[in-house]
Amino acid sequence: MATNQTSVERVDDAVVRSFARAAVLAALMGAAVMVGSIPIPFSPVPVSLGVLVVYLMGLYLGPVWGPASVGLYLTAGAVGLPVFANGTSGLGVLVGDTAGYLWAYLIAALVIGALIHGRGQLENPAETSVPVLAAVLLAALTIIYALGTVWLGYMLKLSTIEALNLGVVPFIPGDLLKIVAAIAIVKGGRIDPT
Amino acid sequence: MIEFRSVSYAFDDVPVLEDVSLSIDDGEFVLLAGANGSGKTTLLRHCNGLLTPDSGTVRVDGTPVEDDLIAARSSVGMVFQHPRDQFVSATVGADIAFGPENLGLERTEIDRRVDAALAAVNMTGREDDRIDALSGGEQSRVAIAGALAMEPTHLVLDEPFTGLDDPARRSVLERLASLAADGTGVLLATHDLRDVCELADRVIAMRDGRVVVDGPPANALGDLDGLEVRVPSG
Amino acid sequence: MLTYEPDDTFAHRLDPRTKLAVQIGFAATALAHPTPWALLVLSALTGLVMAGAGVSLRRTLVAYRFALLVLALAPVLSGVTLGAPWFDRAAATASGLASYRVLLVLLVSAAYVRSTPVRDSRAAIQRTIPGKPGQLLGVGVALVFRFLPVLRSDLRTIRETMAARLGTERGAVDRASTIGMLGLSRAFDRADRLSLALQARCFAWNPTLPPLAFSRADYPVLVVAVVLACSAVI
């Protein structure tokens, strides 16, 4: 065949595999935000399963492809796919009042991936103990709350307490529930990412 | 030509292919029959280097596959089960263009190939259709067009009829037969040989990772008993 | 829902990179100047941008209604105090202006969303961000677009199946983990099939890029974008 094939730089098969998973999980996150809301006891806000997918990205894709997957999700939303909360999209959401939470997902996935997998090969997260999983996920949630609250306060000129009341307190029960759900998924052991 | 020479392959220490030797010429329409788990899919994935043999060699047009994966993958177009998961774009034309774009071709050449591939599967003018709006049969044909746009010498298909009704199945089959008549080698894996035998030049059957039958359909059909393959009745 | 709509407005004819530049410039200056005068000027500009993209104000506000709720609550929360004077008007005003600029930024980005198909955004990403990250991000966005409806219907099916088996009677944790686990395992199955298709189609770091070109209308708009960005630091 007379093509300039010698100049084609093939993406390594292992990279393709990780990349495909990152892209499909980014789509799963968009789908979960839209479809996934579950009413929970003791909370006025029904909770979407979006953050659960962030946990899973870190747990199952690791410190490189987990954040990459979040990055694809954010980019897809920025250019107009309806993947942000309540089916919204647009670059404005990524600089708006709730942008801190979204950007924090990147760091959360990175931290979860790094603490569970280290820098080497992907491990099966099912081999991590429950207390460690719980501590790691709580740390990730704390990062999301911290960045989200700081940005919300800055953007809307609110004090820290006011920002916490608006952007964190109503969501605590749902977010804890999602941590328990994430641990149940990992310990269920049905999925092995290695 | 695709050529297997004493190829063996094991997965988790379980042998999946054992000493497989065969060859498929350009323009030949070959059926690969066998029950689920007989090794068909594993064999197909050696044709373009998605899997590498533990021992033995696979050559495409004389070159060992692992020596030039780009050449192997552009010469051997591959269509998998579940076409819905193989598309990279939301619209037909953009998806078919994906392969030629990866070869770094000029845009005018890519457009020409997209048109030609659509014509080859009887879907001229449908490039702006949304893939999710297509029927199962049409999705299969778009997947085939995506492979054809690489202008391969061979087309390898793994159970492309899963989930298709009989008319859709027949229309895909007719397209394959006419591609083979125009010189593309076709290797079609299926466990359902109804109404495909009269189109094929040869039937290869597998059991437990070995080739147990290799010959023209008229001779081969009698040897397929016990292989859990649906054969034409009567 | 806010999404791309085919049309022939001024904004639809602009290059996606121009529209991205305007959004960035606008957001930068809106964030830097939450003052009444600046917001008055920016409101007029927002009106122009929306008209130029054929965006309906009412429909956009409906699409962002949950975000608007937070924006409306912020000044109230900020103004209310636990002791005398019970309501701090200065704090409420500052917070109200800050909320209003967020609304303007959202409205301007709605103009991009309505006027820009995903393939244009993908082209802009691949042509603006250099090297491997740009390629992965561009193709990745196309893949998210492609798989979003597929996974949405997966999740819907999982929920319906659970409801049919009285899954709604089970605890919230149980339901969340079941949906999450089934959703994740299906997503991994799909991703692994997609990965084979990408490999078979020679997924490359240096493909032919999607076509994209500035036209004459882009240049004055780019100047506006630069002026906006510069005004952020004044």
Which among C118, C142, C196 has the least Cβ separation from residue B50? C196
A13 CB within 8 Å of a chain B CB: yes
Residue A4, classified by CB atoms within 10 Å of its CB into exposed (0-12), middle (13-18) or buried (19+), is exposed
What whole-number distance in Å separates Cα of residue B65 and Cα of residue B3? 10
- Please give the full DSSP string across A44-107, using - where no structure is assigned: SS-B-SHHHHHHHHHHHHHHHHHHHHHHHHHHHHHTT-S-BGGGB-SGGGGTSTTHHHHHHHHH
- Please give the full DSSP string across B85-125, using - where no structure is assigned: GT--SSBHHHHHHHHHHHTT--HHHHHHHHHHHHHHTT-TT
Asked whether residue A40 carries a pLDDT value surpassing 60, the answer given is no
Contact B88 C194 (CB under 8 A): yes
| Domains recognised in chain A with CATH numbers | 13-188 (1.10.1760.20)
C178 membership: H or E segment, kind and range: helix C172-200
Where does chain B show beta strands of DSSP type E? Answer: 2-11, 14-24, 29-33, 55-60, 63-64, 76-79, 154-158, 185-190, 202-207, 210-215
Q: Is the ipTM of this complex over 0.85?
A: yes
pLDDT at B193: 80
User: β-pairing, B202-207 with B29-33?
Assistant: parallel
**Chain C 161-220, residues with CB within 8 Å of chain A CB atoms:** 172-177, 179-181, 183-185, 187-188, 190-192, 194-195, 198-199, 202-206
Beta-bridged to residue A138, according to DSSP, are none
Nearest CA in chain A to C201: A10
Asked whether residue A152 carries a pLDDT value surpassing 90, the answer given is yes
Which among A24, A96, A185 has the least Cβ separation from residue C177? A185
pLDDT at B234: 46
B52 CB within 8 Å of a chain C CB: no
The tally of domains found in chain B comes to: 1
Which of the two residues, C32 and C84, has the higher pLDDT score?
A: C32
- Chains contacting chain B through 3 or more C-beta pairs under 8 A: A, C
Rg of chain C over all Cα atoms, to the nearest angstrom: 23
What whole-number distance in Å separates Cα of residue A77 and Cα of residue A92? 10
Q: Do the beta carbons of residue A99 and residue A151 sit within 8 Å?
A: yes
Contact C190 B85 (CB under 8 A): yes
Which of the two residues, B154 and A2, has the higher pLDDT score?
A: B154
- Summarised one tens digit per residue, pLDDT across range C142-175 is 999 999 999 999 999 998 888 887 666 678 888 8
**Chain C 118-177, residues with CB within 8 Å of chain B CB atoms:** 118-119, 139, 142-143, 145-146, 149-150
- The overall average pLDDT reported for chain C is 92
pLDDT at C167: 61
Asked whether residue A119 carries a pLDDT value surpassing 90, the answer given is no
**Both structure tokens of C170:** 């089970």
Q: Give the distance from residue B9's alpha carbon to the nearest chain C alpha carbon, in angstroms.
A: 18
Does B233 map to a domain? no
pLDDT at A1: 45
A14 CB within 8 Å of a chain B CB: no
Please give the interface size between A and C, counted as residue pairs whose CB atoms are below 8 Å apart. Answer: 268
Amino acid identity of C111? Answer: A
Contact C150 B80 (CB under 8 A): no
Domain limits at B189? 2-224
Does B232 map to a domain? no
Does B229 map to a domain? no
Task: Give the DSSP letter of residue B151.
Answer: -
Amino acid identity of B47? Answer: C
Q: Which of B67, B102, B184 to mutate to test the interface with A (most CBs of A within 10 A)?
A: B102
* Residue C223: Cβ within 10 Å count: 10
- Given the structure tokens 């991590």, which residue do they identify? A128
Q: Give the distance from residue B170's alpha carbon to the nearest chain C alpha carbon, in angstroms.
A: 24
- Give the least confident one: A162-171, A176-185, B221-230, C103-112: B221-230
Nearest CA in chain C to A188: C181
Nearest CA in chain C to A152: C74
pLDDT at C2: 84
pLDDT at A107: 98
Average pLDDT of the segment spanning B21-49: 92
Q: Which of A1, A88, A178 to mutate to test the interface with C (most CBs of C within 10 A)?
A: A88
What whole-number distance in Å separates Cα of residue C133 and Cα of residue C69? 36
Q: Do the beta carbons of residue A114 and residue A67 sit within 8 Å?
A: no
- Summarised one tens digit per residue, pLDDT across range B159-216 is 888 777 888 888 888 888 888 998 999 999 988 787 788 888 999 999 999 999 998 8
What whole-number distance in Å separates Cα of residue C159 and Cα of residue C155? 6
Residues on chain A touching B101 (C-beta within 8 angstroms): none
- Please give the full DSSP string across C53-74, using - where no structure is assigned: HT--HHHHHHHTHHHHHHHHHH
**Both structure tokens of A47:** 């909770």
Give the sign of the dihedral formed by CA C81, CA C83, CA C86, CA C91: negative
Beta-bridged to residue B155, according to DSSP, are B77, B186
Contact C78 A157 (CB under 8 A): yes
3-state class of B214 per DSSP? strand
- Please give the full DSSP string across A115-154, using - where no structure is assigned: HHHTTSS---GGGS-HHHHHHHHHHHHHHHHHHHHHHHHH
Contact A165 C172 (CB under 8 A): no
- Please give the full DSSP string across B53-66, using - where no structure is assigned: -SEEEEEETTEEGG
- Give the least confident one: A56-70, B42-56, B206-220, C23-37: B206-220
Domain ranges of chain C: 10-116+213-231, 129-200
Does B230 map to a domain? no
**Chain C 86-125, residues with CB within 8 Å of chain A CB atoms:** 91, 94-95, 97-99, 102, 105-110, 112-113, 116, 118, 121-122, 125
Amino acid identity of B177? Answer: A
- Given the structure tokens 């990780």, which residue do they identify? A18
Residues on chain C touching B112 (C-beta within 8 angstroms): none
The dihedral over CA atoms of B49, B53, B55, B59, expressed in degrees to the nearest 10, equals -30
pLDDT at C81: 82
- Summarised one tens digit per residue, pLDDT across range C60-71 is 999 998 889 889
- Please give the full DSSP string across B5-17, using - where no structure is assigned: EEEEEEETTEEEE
- Summarised one tens digit per residue, pLDDT across range A22-32 is 999 999 999 99
Which among C95, C139, C190 has the least Cβ separation from residue A24? C190
- Summarised one tens digit per residue, pLDDT across range C187-212 is 999 999 999 999 999 999 999 998 89
User: β-pairing, B154-158 with B76-79?
Assistant: parallel
Average pLDDT of the segment spanning B31-60: 93
Which among A20, A30, A180 has the least Cβ separation from residue C198? A20
Contact A1 B104 (CB under 8 A): no
pLDDT at A4: 47
Which of the two residues, C112 and B163, has the higher pLDDT score?
A: C112
3-state class of A23 per DSSP? helix
Average pLDDT of the segment spanning A160-180: 90
CATH of the domain at B7: 3.40.50.300
Contacts 24+ apart (CB under 8 A), C72-76: C72/C99, C73/A166, C74/A97, C74/A156, C74/A157, C74/A158, C74/A162, C74/A166, C74/C98, C74/C99, C75/C99
CA atoms within 13 A on the CB side of C164: 6
pLDDT at A2: 44
What whole-number distance in Å separates Cα of residue C190 and Cα of residue C173? 25
What whole-number distance in Å separates Cα of residue A116 and Cα of residue B49? 33
